[in-house]
Every structure is written in structure tokens, then in C-alpha cells.
Structure 1
Amino acid sequence: MPLAITRRALFAATAALALAGQGQAQGDIPVIAAASDLQFALTEIAAAFRADTGMDVRLAFGSTGNFARQIREGAPFQIFMAADESFIAALHADGFTPDAGDLYALGRIVIMVPTGSALTPDPALDSLARMLAAGQITRFAIPNPDHAPYGMRAREALITKGIWDDLHPVLVVGENVSQAAQFALSGNAEGGIIAYSLALAPEVTARGNFALIPEDWHEPLRQRMVLLNGAGQVAQAFYAYMNARAARDIMDRYGFTLPQE
């Protein structure tokens, strides 16, 4: 366990004892800016944190790039959980965080198709390439590659496959990976590229099929979290809780791993 996490865990235990039995005022509930691929996993973790400590957090899900911009503009977040660590490195370099944070997961992308689609989800994207060449792809969803890391990795994978330029005219672009998943499964698209963590959620799995895209087809999705300047005790306790076994079990179930795993 990293030393920084160990110290935070000790602080979190102290904070939990100090706050236990006091209740938690509405103004003391920190807001966490979290990448959309965490939608299902982090919601479960926040519920477990509440059950285990009596403390609460509020979750805001969106694209990492948009959150980084909002933090620079003064948004009152206390924790930033990014889908790409480069955004946190830039914030730290510019003085918005007390340290460089901690790696909390490696993400993966999948091709996802709705039930009944003529498109077959295969890791090498061969079905997508064939149908595209035959003019049979009318809409294909990805997150916005301008500010969503999962969109950036989707674009890299499509470039690796050699079909980015041909696919570009029929792309439906989601503001974040969660919206891209909605578009991919809407029935108005043949499919899309989304986060593995979303594809594993029962609510999503019930609506389609997916295949993991080779991880060497794109740059790694090194997902990092960081406490922002002025983060309070509850935020620090939740940050430490992310390394607790209960939280890691949930993250594992949604396909999030760490390098040592």
C-alpha cells in the first residue's frame, strides 16, 4: 500500500471517529467530480461508505476535460477522479491540488452493440470494418474525443484499425462516455465504443453485447484521483476509503484494475 494512502487511511479513521454520532450537516457533504465511466461503481462505493462510516458524499459525473476546466474556474469540488491522469498532472502543476494524487484504476474500452443489431462485437472490429465498407453503418457512437479520455482512446483504436476517416461522417458523439453508451444502445445506432465498466453494469449488459478492444490499440487509460485544495475531513475520509477492501471489491467487479493486479 502506498505511504500516502496509508497516512490518509489513518487520518480517515480519526475523522470518522470524530464525526461519528454527530450527524453530518448538509454543507459538510463534499462534491466529487468523477469521470462518467465510474457512474455505476462509484455510486455503489458511496453507498458502502455511507453504511460503514455514517458520512455522505455527493457525486457529479461528467467528462474529465470539462471537470478540469470547471475546477480551474473555481467549481467547489473537493475530490477529482479523472479518467486520464494527465489532467490531474496539469492541475497539480498549476497549484490546484496539494499533491499529484493516486492512481486508482486502469480503464479499458469495448465495442458495444444493442440487442438486434446487425453489427457483431468482435475485439478486432472486423465486423465494423466490413459493414462500414458496405455502407451499412448509419450511426456509431463514441464519447467526444476533444475532452473525454474514453473518446480519445476510441479514436486511437479506430485509427489503429484504419477506419477512423471512413467512420467519422457517421459518428454520433456523446458529451461523455455515459452519454455515448446511451446513444450506442438507443436502437438508432449500430453500436459504439464505451467504457468496459459501463458495459459490465447489469443495466447495460441486459441491453446488448460487447467485446474488449485490445489495450495496445490505444494509449493507457491511467485513471487518477486527487484531493483538491481545501478538501475537508469527509472528503479525505472518502479518498482513503477508495483503497479499502470494500471499495476495491466493487471496482474489481466493474473491471477496474491496478497495475499490480
Structure 2
Amino acid sequence: MEKIASLALVAALLFHLPARAEAPAADKATDAKTVTVFAAASLKNALDEAAAAFKKKTGTEVSISYAASMPLAKQIEAGAPADIFVSADTASADYLSTRGLLKAGTLTNWLGNSLVLVAPKSAGGKKIALEKGAVLAALGASGRMAVGDPASVPAGKYAKAAFTSLGIWEALEPRLAITENVRAALTFVAREEAPLGVVYQTDANSDPKVAVVGVFPAGSHPPIVYPIALTAASTSKSAADLLAFLESPAAAQFFTRQGFTMLSHGR
């Protein structure tokens, strides 16, 4: 496996970097008109739209840091200021919950998603059988599969589980281009720097430069679930209002339009 050097720059351009692990300034932590959200990278398009709608409705600023879920969770554990945490897997939320770092009674399985194989749109969009021979043939002699890091990125973990279930992982592992989050994998394929990549359906829907060439069977990997919760350290008076808004029918349109399924419909 190898990391692709250009991806660090890609990720830096696409996403805000998570806040450093340091004690929050008191004025920011108690600012009723600012809510800080740490969220899985795959949520960017839909969550940005929902945050803009919330600001228009309430006047409340929403600051969002996007990255892979577990690194965000560890930022929160180290003291980085966040009011709401949204991960792309239950493991990252459980990591914080078992340490008492999420506010009791607020953790909910909020959204669902599906896992897909994508290729550059310019390649024609021909479907690829999720079998070893077909996938390796599509990669060609030197092509690599862009995948979130299976050690830390939920999409990468789901991809490893799916390829293992389908009997492809052992042959495919040496052909991976490991990325720091799922949106970096998407960008790599969109730029035609990788012939194939594994992303969520919602990521594929967000970029017209990629085409879905395969859909992984739901039973080939654990269910894709996005938990959401208030952090235990949050002092923002508006964080609970944002959480309620995100789980409401009024916000559902931003997520279902992108391809998410709603698992939670308010409290």
C-alpha cells in the first residue's frame, strides 16, 4: 500500500482542518451564536446546505470541520472545542461515548448510506462485476484503487470488509492508493489519477466527473450508519437547536437529495 503525496494538498484545499487539541477560549465556547461541528468528510455538501439554512432561520453561525471520523473523535478526546460530533461509523461515536465525551441522551443513529465503486466519467461508465478478475482488469497493469485508509477512515473500513467478503481483498490490497478521507479518494478518481475508487453513493452523487460502475451488496459490509450527538463539553446555547434542526423533516431534504437515508426523525 502507498499514500499518494498529492492527496494531502487535495484534502487541505477541500476541507477545513480540524481544530488543534487545545483548551477552547471561553468567549468562543460560550458564544450562543456559534456552533462548532466536527463531521465526517462525506457529509460536506449536504451539511453545508443544512447549516446555511439554519443560519438563515436563526442567525446562528455554524463552523464545520470535515475529516475522517476517528481522527475527529481523537481531536475531541484531546480537548478540541466541538459542540456536535457526526461520524460515518458507530465505532467512532462509541469511542467518545464510552469515555463520557458525548452528552447523555443525545446520541442517535441519524443517517444511512451505501457503498459504491466509481470510475472517471470519461471512461464511459461501463458496469464492472465485483469479482477479482473484473476489478483487476479494470485497474489495468499499473492503476490503483483509491480508498480511504482502512485503519482510520470509515469508508476504507467498509471497503475492506466488502472486498474481503467478495474474495477480492488479498489480490487488491497491494493495488490500493490509500487516502486520508473518502472525499480525497473521490477527487483522485474525478481527476482521472486513479481508474477506480470506493466511495459512498452520496459522494458519487456530488461529483459529475465520476460514474458509479458497481454497487456493493449491503450484506458485504457492516451497515453504514452516521451517529450524531452533542459533546459533553459543549456550552453553546444553540447547539441543541442545531441538533434538533438537523434531525427534523425541514432538514431532511438536504440529505435525502444527496442520497442519504434518514434513520432519525427528531426527538
TM-score with structure 1 setting the length = 0.82
SS at match of 1:30: strand
Q: Check conservation: 2:117, 2:215, Cα contact below 8 A.
A: yes
Quote the residue 2:82 is aligned against.
77
In structure 2, how many angstroms separate the alpha carbons of the residues matched to 1:134 and 1:208?
15
| Cα deviation, residue 106, structure 1 | 1.2
Deviation string, structure 1 residues 49-76 (Cα, Å, up to 9, x no partner): 1112221211110000101111111111
Quote the residue 2:119 is aligned against.
113
User: Does structure 1 residue 156 correspond to structure 2 residue 158?
Assistant: no
In structure 2, how many angstroms separate the alpha carbons of the residues matched to 1:225 and 1:244?
13
Quote the residue 2:239 is aligned against.
235
Deviation string, structure 1 residues 221-253 (Cα, Å, up to 9, x no partner): 121011001321211111110122221111111
Percent of paired sites with the same residue: 28
The 1:135/1:43 distance shift into structure 2, 3 A limit, reads closer
Quote the residue 2:59 is aligned against.
54
Q: 2:186 aligns with which of 171, 181, 194?
A: 181
Quote the residue 2:216 is aligned against.
213
Q: Check conservation: 2:77, 2:101, Cα contact below 8 A.
A: yes
The 1:236/1:164 distance shift into structure 2, 3 A limit, reads same
> Which range is displaced more, 208-217 or 101-110?
208-217
Quote the residue 1:172 is aligned against.
177
In structure 2, how many angstroms separate the alpha carbons of the residues matched to 1:149 and 1:135?
23
Q: Which amino acid in the other structure matches residue 215 of structure 1?
A: A
Q: Check conservation: 1:29, 1:57, Cα contact below 8 A.
A: yes
Q: Check conservation: 1:119, 1:190, Cα contact below 8 A.
A: no
SS at match of 1:200: helix
In structure 2, how many angstroms separate the alpha carbons of the residues matched to 1:223 and 1:58?
19
Quote the residue 2:225 is aligned against.
222
Considering only aligned residues, what root-mean-square deviation do their CA atoms show, in Å?
2.2
Q: Which amino acid in the other structure matches residue 250 of structure 1?
A: F
Q: Which amino acid in the other structure matches residue 233 of structure 2?
A: G
| Cα deviation, residue 212, structure 1 | 2.6
In structure 2, how many angstroms separate the alpha carbons of the residues matched to 1:113 and 1:182?
11
SS at match of 1:44: helix
Deviation string, structure 1 residues 46-105 (Cα, Å, up to 9, x no partner): 011111222121111000010111111111111100111222223122111122511111
In structure 2, how many angstroms separate the alpha carbons of the residues matched to 1:115 and 1:92?
41
SS at match of 1:120: coil
Structure 1 unpaired stretches of 5+: 1-24
SS at match of 1:230: coil
SS at match of 1:104: strand
Aligned length: 232
Q: Check conservation: 1:119, 1:131, Cα contact below 8 A.
A: no
The 1:208/1:133 distance shift into structure 2, 3 A limit, reads closer
Quote the residue 2:250 is aligned against.
246
TM-score with structure 2 setting the length = 0.80
Q: Check conservation: 2:40, 2:67, Cα contact below 8 A.
A: yes
In structure 2, how many angstroms separate the alpha carbons of the residues matched to 1:96 and 1:153?
25
| Cα deviation, residue 135, structure 1 | 6.9
The 1:54/1:163 distance shift into structure 2, 3 A limit, reads same
> Which range is displaced more, 160-169 or 41-50?
160-169
Quote the residue 2:108 is aligned against.
102
Of Structure 1 and Structure 2, which has the larger fraction of its residues in helix?
Answer: 1
